[in-house]
Amino acid sequence: MARDRPRLAIALPVYNGSRFLEQTVRSLLGQTFADFELIIGDNASTDRTAEIAQGLAASDERISYVRNERNLGLVGNYNALFQSTSAELFKWAPADDTYEPSYLERCVAALDADPRAVLAYSRTRFVDEEGRPLEITDPGWDLRSERAWERLLYAIQASHWVNSIMGVIRREALARTRLMPRYSGGDYVLLGELSLLGTFIEAPETLFLRRIHPEASSQICIDAERLRQYVRGPGKGPSWPTWQRTFGHLATIATGPLGYGKRGRLLVGLARSSVDRAPALRQELVGMMRWLLRRRSAPAA
């Protein structure tokens, strides 16, 4: 007999994540809220990810395993997994983080209690690859303001951790966004889009354990080309994520349900943020010009 559609869909994107995959899945299977399906999306891994994921899927009917024939990049895998689901609530769960048993229950309860909210998450504890606590703090994204433009302004000006994107999200709201953009830092733009659609709630308990290790996305950002391929997938091309993030926020301001006055305030906020990010913008512009010059001077095939 087929199961009724679960209330929550959890998408677990993974690429060569065999080291922590089982621990992550076990922490999700041990949640006090159990009305979910878990889709492991293997992005053409070359390690033991497939073997581990298939074994986990065989152990619990809530788990399914899908494998991409080629590496779609982090963003392609994230978005494809979302589009494959239809549950009322949705969550991304990377393959190296873990959760305390009440994480899902607290997030779902927060959304049930407040129909204005589109996203709920908990406070974060950072750990190393051995699970030892790290001295890292995160101010969070507890956006309960009734003013949508104020919530968006926060997303535009933010430069800290985006752990809230791993919270529980109303599917209907996420489907109204452009989903995860194909550049590093695109999660800020996605959170900005979501912030216009409703409030964000932070559960006061520390229930999310984010693992920081050498292969984590947050740790490879110093290598621009490696990060570009990690996010977009294998291939060549320029990388200008700070400009793309700026244009992404600009598109949200231009198309969102905002009056002229609020748009003006947001444009001022975006301009101020661009001043703060001027070194990165200049560096990317120089890189783009060099790329264009090399392309023009390259001999025709």
Please report where in the chains the tokens 């809530």 appear, as a residue: 62
Q: What is the pLDDT of residues 186-225, one digit of tens each?
A: 999 999 999 999 999 999 999 999 999 876 665 545 556 7
Q: Is 124 exposed, middle or buried (0-12, 13-18, 19+ CB in 10 A)?
A: buried
Q: What is the pLDDT of residues 227-241, one digit of tens each?
A: 777 788 877 677 799
- Spatial neighbors of 18 by CB under 8 A, at least 6 apart, are 45, 47, 48, 49, 51, 52
Q: Could you give all domains of the chain from N- to C-terminal order, each with its CATH number?
A: 8-218 (3.90.550.10)
Q: What is the pLDDT of residues 250-279, one digit of tens each?
A: 999 999 999 999 999 999 999 999 999 999
* pLDDT for residue 296: 83
Checking 1-6 for CB contacts under 8 A at 24+ apart, the result is 3/61, 5/86, 5/87, 6/35, 6/36, 6/37, 6/62, 6/87
CA distance 170 to 146: 18
* pLDDT for residue 228: 74
Pairing of strands 117-127, 89-92: unpaired
Q: What is the pLDDT of residues 129-146, one digit of tens each?
A: 999 999 999 999 999 999
Average pLDDT over residues 114-130: 97
CA distance 156 to 145: 15
Q: Is 131 exposed, middle or buried (0-12, 13-18, 19+ CB in 10 A)?
A: exposed
- Spatial neighbors of 50 by CB under 8 A, at least 6 apart, are 42, 65, 67
Q: What does the DSSP 8-state code read for residue 158?
A: -
Nearest to 31 by CA among 96, 88, 124, 100: 100
- pTM (2 d.p.): 0.93
Tokens encoding 200: 């964000």
What φ, ψ does residue 46 adopt, rounded to 5°? -115, 5
- Other C-beta atoms within 10 Å of 54: how many? 15
Q: What is the pLDDT of residues 3-55, one digit of tens each?
A: 588 999 999 999 999 999 999 999 999 999 999 999 999 999 999 999 999 99
